[in-house]
Amino acid sequence: MSKNIEDILHNRRIRKEILSRPEFRRLQYWTYGVAAVGFALMFVITIWMDKIPWRMMIILRGCAGLFFLAFIILAVILKYRTNVEFLRHRR
């Protein structure tokens, strides 16, 4: 049982080490930034819902949706690259 826990902790340390590299950190920051912009747009839509013309609201919703789509794509790319590097490191 303790062997499994040690393996899990070792794998977690390796993944943390991989994510701390500059190329992965840069992708991680881009992912967080895109998500923050999407949340900011949704916040603007929520706060000023009555004061924004409906055309502008549709445009803002579309932009927020595109930012969240970009967030999902960047998160998948980050996870894929991390797992590839992890598997390469294990061999």
- Residue 17: band (very low, low, confident or very high) from pLDDT cuts 50, 70, 90: very high
Residue whose structure tokens are 């881009």: 30
CA–CA separation, 15 vs 89, rounded Å?
A: 10
Which domain, by its residues, includes 64?
2-90
The DSSP call for residue 49 is: T
Helices assigned H by DSSP within the chain: 2-19, 22-47, 54-90
pLDDT at 21: 93
For residue range 18-59, list pLDDT tens digits in order: 999 999 999 999 999 999 999 999 999 999 988 989 999 999
- The total number of structural domains in the chain stands at 1
